[in-house]
Amino acid sequence: SQKIEQNSEALNIQEGKTATLTCNYTNYSPAYLQWYRQDPGRGPVFLLLIRENEKEKRKERLKVTFDTTLKQSLFHITASQPADSATYLCAPGGYNKLIFGAGTRLAVHP
C-alpha cells in the first residue's frame, strides 16, 4: 500500500539556520506533491506545490525539491524564525486525493 514517511522526531534548530525536512514515499507515483503547515488546533495551510516534471520550486524563504527517482521531496526553510515553528505535512497527490504523511514538528529556538 502507499506509504508516506516524514521525520517522526521533532526537528529543533537555532534561529537563522536552515531547516530541512524530508518526505519519502513508497508504492506510489504522485503527479504532484504539496507541502502544508499546520499549527495546533488549526487546519493545514498550503505552502508550496511541485509537479513531477519540476525538480525545484521556491517561494520566499521556502524551497522544495522533488526527486521521482529517489521518491523523495525535501523542504527547506532558510533563515528560520521562531514563527516558523509548526508541524509541516507532506502530501503527494494524484487522482484528486492527497495522501498525507504524519508530519514533522519543527521548533525554531531564538
Residues 72 to 101 in contact with other proteins, rule: CB under 8 A: 89, 93-101
Q: Is position 66 an interface residue for other proteins (rule: CB under 8 A)?
A: no
Q: Is position 31 an interface residue for other proteins (rule: CB under 8 A)?
A: yes
Q: Is position 11 an interface residue for other proteins (rule: CB under 8 A)?
A: no
Distances (CA, A) of 96 to 8, 35, 91, 92, 110: 26, 16, 12, 11, 40
Q: Which of 17, 42, 55, 58 binds other proteins (CB under 8 A)?
A: 42
Q: Which conformational region is residue 15 in: left (phi greater than 0), alpha (psi within -120 to 50 degrees), or beta?
A: beta
Residues interacting with other proteins, by CB under 8 A?
A: 4, 31-32, 34, 36, 42-46, 49, 51, 89, 93-103
